């Protein structure tokens, strides 16, 4: 479960249930409107304001342990527990 909080009011803006079990890797896109979430067998790209899943990027292993969005927001890199490195272009 991912929760996005509004700091000023200390209220949860939305909750995102990914169904991916334990989530250990997150990275924001530079536009601050999307979030890359490392899950089980995939990286999810989610809209921060609505919590909606925008795209699911598949991986080879069971758990993503690291995820990074480049400075332009055009590529996503993930490393899995099995040591596989995944790279997707055109994530923007």
Tokens of 62: 């069971």
pLDDT at 21 over 90: no
Position with higher pLDDT, 77 vs 22: 77
Give residue 19's pLDDT: 67
| Reported pTM | 0.83
DSSP the chain: -EEEEETTTTEEEEEE--S-SS--EEEE-TTSSEEEEE-EEEEEEEETTT--EEEEEEEEEEEEEEEEE-TTSSEEEEEETT--EEEEE---
Domain at 53, CATH number: 2.20.25
Question: Could you list the residue range(s) of the whole structural domain that residue 62 is in?
Answer: 2-89
| Count of domains forming the chain | 1
pLDDT band at 69 (very low <50, low <70, confident <90, very high): very high
């Amino acid at each position: 479960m991912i929760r996005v909080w509004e700091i000023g009011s200390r209220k949860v803006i939305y909750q995102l249930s990914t169904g991916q079990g334990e989530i250990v890797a997150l990275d924001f896109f530079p536009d601050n409107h999307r979030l890359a979430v490392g899950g089980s067998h995939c990286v999810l790209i989610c809209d921060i304001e609505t919590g909606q899943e925008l795209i699911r990027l598949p991986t080879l292993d069971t758990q993503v342990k690291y995820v990074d969005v480049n400075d332009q927001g055009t590529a996503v890199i993930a490393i899995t527990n099995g040591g596989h490195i995944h790279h997707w272009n055109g994530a923007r």
